[in-house]
Every structure is written in C-alpha cells, then in structure tokens.
Structure 1
Amino acid sequence: MTRDEFDTHCATLRHATNVVQWGGCSVWKIGGKIFALCAPETKDGNHPKISFKCSDMVYEILRDEPGIIPAPHLARAKWVQLTEPDAMSDEDLKEHLDVAYEIIVGKLTRKIRAELGLSDGSNRI
C-alpha cells in the first residue's frame, strides 16, 4: 500500500484527523489519539513503513510474521510496523487499520465519543 492509499483509506473513518509530524510521518488520530502512521519513503527508495495499533492477541501473532516487527517506540503499546511492502495484502491492511481505529475509539471517554458522534457504531464517513 502506498502512502497515498494509506491516507485515502484512513480518511474514510469518521472524524479521523491527519497531521504530518515526526520527520514527515502521516499520523492519523481519532479524538486526539493515534491509531496509525506511515513513515515516508526514504531517499534510498525504501518503501513507506506503516505502523498501527493492535489487540494483544493480534500483536502476538503479527510481530512474528515475515516483514512485520514490533513498532519502534510503540511496541509496548502493542503496535506493529510493516517493514516490507508485501508483508500484508492491501485488503488485510485496511482491515487492520479499521480495527486499530476501533480500538482507539474504544479507549476514548464516553463524552468524547458522544461529541464526535461515534457512539452509534457507524464509523465510516
């Protein structure tokens, strides 16, 4: 998945916001909390590296898959990073991004979820 495809998919999630920070990373948040990020391609042509929040069980499974590692600086919070472009199909990645979003929505206070209109279970634009 390219960075543009990553951004396009994340933009379909209700009230998700995007900022570019940390040396050009595309950082996606809901209610001010990060659920996914995409580091830019490097000058030597390395593909963008996508990281996202996982459930505890999925983290245990994915971290041992080829082309996937515990995300630097975020592993303790159960994040993984795709280090190879073919580590996961685009469809699987989209599903994981959706789940990452849902995990973070679930961590928001009821008040913030209500303010964002996210208490109805419909999180697509």
Structure 2
Amino acid sequence: MDYEQFNQFCRSLPATSYVMQWGGSHVWKVADKVFAIGGWGKAAQPAFSFKTSEQNFHFLNLKSGYQPAPYLAARGMKWIQLYDGQDIADEELIYYLTESHRIVSLGLSKKKQLELGLNQHLDKDLDKG
C-alpha cells in the first residue's frame, strides 16, 4: 500500500478527518482523536502506524515488518508501525486500520458517538441480548 491508497482507505471510514502534520505525516482522526498515521518511515518505503488492542500489540510486535510505533509506543500507548510492508497483504493493513478506527471511536463519549453516527450497531446488538 502506498500513501495515496492509505489516504483513500482512511477517508472511506466514517467521521474521519485528515491533516498533514508532524514532519509531513498523513494523520487521520476520528472526531479529534488520531487513529492512523502514514509516515515516520525510514528510507523511501511507506510506514503506517495505528492503535491496536493489547493482544494485537504483542502479536504484531513479534511479527516481521512490524514494530512498536515510534514516539507513541515509547509513551506506553499500544501503537504499532508497519515499516516493511513488502510481504504484507493490503487486506491485513486494512483490517488493522479498521480496528484502530473502531478502538479510537469507542473511546469517544456516547454522546459524541451518537452525534457522529458511530458504533450504533453495538447498541442495537446489546438490546438484543
């Protein structure tokens, strides 16, 4: 995946916004919370950082091509960076970007989620139980 494809995918997720900051990185937010960053890679190869669950953080930390995200993971946050995606299918990155969006959106207040039309299916699923 290149940065253009990364931006196109992140743009397709609900209630997202884009800003270029932090040294020319492509930063994607849901509400005002960052869920994905394209940049901070070494050499000319694209790098992508995203928030993960604790389990995925530990799993990806051991997987080739992934590492704790610079700056963020050093502060104790569960962020991973895909720094070498040569052998990684785009679908795998899409899964983790979608999960990051979901995790970050669940951290928003219920009022904000409702206002943005996020996670409404979760409330319906809970009502069925």
Same fold (TM over 0.5): yes
When the two structures are aligned, how many residues end up with a matched partner? 120
Larger proportion of helix: 2
Kindly tell me: are residues 30 and 48 of structure 1, through their superposed partners in 2, closer, same or farther at Cα, counting changes over 3 Å? Answer: same
Hey, what does 1:37 align to over in structure 2? 37
Hey, what does 1:93 align to over in structure 2? 93
Question: Which amino acid is the alignment partner of residue 2 of structure 2?
Answer: T
Among all aligned residue pairs of Structure 1 and Structure 2, give the percentage whose two residues are the same amino acid: 35
Query: In structure 2, which of residues 41, 50, 60 is the aligned counterpart of residue 52 of structure 1?
Result: 50
Residues in 1 aligned to 2:12 and 2:99: alpha-carbon distance in whole angstroms: 13
1:102 Cα offset (Å): 0.2
> Highest CA radius of gyration, 1 or 2?
2
1:85 Cα offset (Å): 2.5
Residues in 2 aligned to 1:54 and 1:86: alpha-carbon distance in whole angstroms: 21
Secondary structure, counterpart of 1:121 in structure 2:
helix
Any runs of at least 4 consecutive aligned residues in structure 1 with deviations exceeding 3 A, and if so which? none
TM-score normalised by structure 1 residue count = 0.89
TM-score normalised by structure 2 residue count = 0.86
Query: In structure 2, which of residues 48, 60, 66 is the aligned counterpart of residue 62 of structure 1?
Result: 60
Listed as ranges, the gaps of 5+ residues in structure 1 are none
1:11 Cα offset (Å): 0.6
Residues in 2 aligned to 1:41 and 1:65: alpha-carbon distance in whole angstroms: 17
- Over aligned residue pairs, what C-alpha RMSD do you find? 1.7
Task: Give the structure, 1 or 2, with the largest relative contact order (CA under 8 Å, sep 6 or more).
Answer: 1
Once the two structures are superposed, residues 13-68 of structure 1 have per-residue CA deviations (whole angstroms, 9 ceiling, x without a partner) of: 011111000111000000100000001777xx521210000000000000111111
Question: Which amino acid is the alignment partner of residue 91 of structure 1?
Answer: E
Question: Which amino acid is the alignment partner of residue 13 of structure 2?
Answer: L
Question: Which amino acid is the alignment partner of residue 82 of structure 1?
Answer: L
Question: Which amino acid is the alignment partner of residue 121 of structure 2?
Answer: G
Kindly tell me: are residues 55 and 41 of structure 1, through their superposed partners in 2, closer, same or farther at Cα, counting changes over 3 Å? Answer: closer
